[in-house]
Copies of this chain bind each other. A is one copy, B any other.
Amino acid sequence: MSETHALEEGSAFAPQFDDSGLIACITRASGDGEVLMLAYMNAEALRLTLETGVAHYWSRSRNSLWRKGDTSGQIQTVREIRTDCDQDALLLTVEAGGDGGACHTGRRSCFYRKVIAGDEGVGLVFD
């Protein structure tokens, strides 16, 4: 079995961290599947997530391990983890504690703005 075939069709979990030691992680809500956020994990964040069942990430801006919800109360209990074909991305399904949101701005999802291309260029619309 070639390396590519093993990654794509095997049952061994071999997360492909990038040159910075990170893997992209999409997080969605367990109830309605809404995409809440995109974050990154390093190997330790992934290990802690698997061990504790609570989502841990690596903050690229703060350069530190981060248990989501420690300050906001929006602790994410992990219901499911998936990986993609080439195992360089993760998809978490979570139940969010606190107010059920994920965004530090107070919104439920970080994706609270649409990109709109109009006559006057490209802008953002809140909805």
Q: Which residues of A contact B (CB under 8 A)?
A: 8-13, 24, 26, 28, 33-35, 37-38, 50-51, 61, 80-86, 89-91, 103-105, 107, 110-115, 117, 122-126
B84 touches A111 (CB 8 A): yes
Query: Which residue among A85, A89, A112 has the maximum number of chain B CB atoms within 10 Å of its CB?
Result: A85
**How many protomers of this protein does the assembly include?**
2
A115 touches B50 (CB 8 A): yes
Task: Point out the residue from B10, B28, B90, B125 that lies within 8 Å of A11, measured CB to CB.
Answer: B125
B83 touches A13 (CB 8 A): no
Instruction: Specify the chain B residue showing the minimal Cβ separation from A110.
Output: B84
A13 touches B85 (CB 8 A): no
B13 touches A123 (CB 8 A): yes
B111 touches A91 (CB 8 A): yes
